Amino acid sequence: MTVLRHDLVVESTTWVTARALAKGAAAPLEPASVPLADALGGRLAAPLPALVAVPGVDVSAMDGYAVAGAGPWRVVGRVLAGGACYGEELRPGEAVEIATGAPAPPGALAVLPYEQAAVDGARVDGAVEPGRHLRRRGEDIAEGAVVLGAGAVVTPVALGLAAALGHDELLVRPRPRVAVLITGDEVVHEGLPAPGRVRDAIGPFLPGLVSWAGGRVASTDRLPDGPQALRAALAADGADVVAVCGASSKGPADHLRAVLGDLGADVIVDGVAVRPGHPQLLARLPGGSLVVGLPGNPFAALGAALTLLAPILRELAGIPVRTEASALAGAVRAHPRDTRLVPVRRSGRGAVPVGHDRPGSLWGAALADALAVVPPGWAGEQVELIELPPGG
């Protein structure tokens, strides 16, 4: 079970409990009304109603002539989209020249497109069917219709739809803001790492993973080893979640636990019985931000991000979690005490382990589309799969 002080006897939280504690530590963020452009990627906090009908009035669907009664017709006026409406009721035998989208005059039977019209001076003739090429008010969307439900993602297309329906702002659940702190004097961010240096492999995957889980990376800072910089960064932060990469273990440069203690943080998860990723942790700062400690080994960091960070972000963003189970199509050795996270590819035969799953490398996870959750002592057939963030 959870141990609140790392300097006492540490018994790691089980993987299942850790994930539940992460979910339980967060609550959906309060919805906010934001301008359309800022709502992109958020989730609707309320159903989206049509504030206006589409079309808003009866309009022409073609460029041509709106006609009343039987032809031939006398052309008595002209209506352009955005121009003045034809003020009177169209009488049988009358026509007005009309543009696509322009309001059809009352009494119009149909629209005769230019291509089908025989024009002779102010007279026009042709074959029409009643109602043809007229779009009636509310024919596409009735006023008041609910077009998207609460929880729908605000996609670029949803923004266009909302604008068409008269909305200037949308009530959305904000995307939780994540501050990323990358620690480690040996970590470099470009080029070939010199001997003793290592390229940052966690910072590059976090923005995509965070946004897939419903959040957004609001800032990324690189910190030298040492407690001061970490303490200052954690104390200053106003993000919903801070993801600290590295410094989670027990080495001379691993200050995260001590700094959290100095800051008066409430530790919620201190180590998880999982491989890889056991030094991961979760704490709450006195100001309310959650801190997720991701171990420095990149595959361990990925496992921890999926165990603690993703459930927190989904909860904050109000996104329901989908669960998936599968048979394992390949040999996997369970650990006697720890849950194992095993990179797999889904197939018709079940989830196939892809190998290359050492904690220090993302190779296996990059070949995989999910991680199989293999409980301690597991000897069954079905396992839970946690999806890996897809590309795009």
Ligand X SMILES: Nc1nc2c(c(=O)[nH]1)N[C@H]1C(S)=C(S)[C@@H](COP(=O)(O)OP(=O)(O)OC[C@H]3O[C@@H](n4cnc5c(N)ncnc54)[C@H](O)[C@@H]3O)O[C@H]1N2
Report the partner that residue 198 touches, choosing among ligand MOO, ligand X, none (CB closer than 5 to 8 A by kind).
ligand X
Residue 184 binds to ligand X (criterion: CB under 6 A):
yes
Q: How far is the CB of 282 from ligand X (least distance, A)?
A: 14
79 touches 98 (CB < 8 A): yes
Segment interacting with ligand X, rule: CB under 6 A, options 98-106, 109-117, 289-297, 367-375: 289-297
Which of positions 265-294 make contact with ligand MOO (CB under 6 A)? 275-279
Nearest residue (CB) to ligand MOO, 176 versus 246 = 246
Name the nearest CA neighbour of 319 among 151, 144, 100, 177.
151
Q: What is the bridge-based pairing of β-strands 281-284 and 266-270?
A: antiparallel
Say if residues 47 and 149 touch (Cβ distance below 8 Å).
Answer: yes
Minimum distance from CB of 300 to ligand MOO (Å)? 3
d(CA 334, CA 372): 11
Instruction: Rule CB under 6 A: choose which of 35, 238, 251, 355 binds ligand X.
Output: 251
From the list ligand X, ligand MOO, none, which binds 47 (C-beta under 5 to 8 Å, kind-based)? none
What is the closest distance, in whole angstroms, from the C-beta atom of residue 155 to ligand MOO in the complex?
Answer: 36
The contact pattern for ligand MOO, residues 183-202, with x = CB under 6 A and - = no contact, is --------------------
The span from the CA of 259 to the CA of 268, in Å, is: 15
Residue identified by tokens 């904690």 is: 359
Exposed e or buried b for every residue in 299-316, given b needs 16+ CB within 10 A?
Answer: bbbbbbbbbbbbbbbbbb
Nearer to ligand X, 148 or 247 (CB): 247
Site string for ligand X, 352-391 (x = CB under 6 A): -------x--------------------------------
Q: What is the DSSP letter of 322?
A: P
340 forms part of the interface with ligand MOO (CB under 6 A): no
| Chain-centroid distance, C-alpha 308 | 17
70: amino acid identity, one letter: A
Using CB positions, name the residue nearest to ligand X: 296
**Rounded to an integer, what distance in angstroms lies between the CA atom of residue 312 and that of residue 15?**
15
**Which positions lie near ligand MOO, rule CB under 6 A?**
275-279, 295, 297, 300, 359
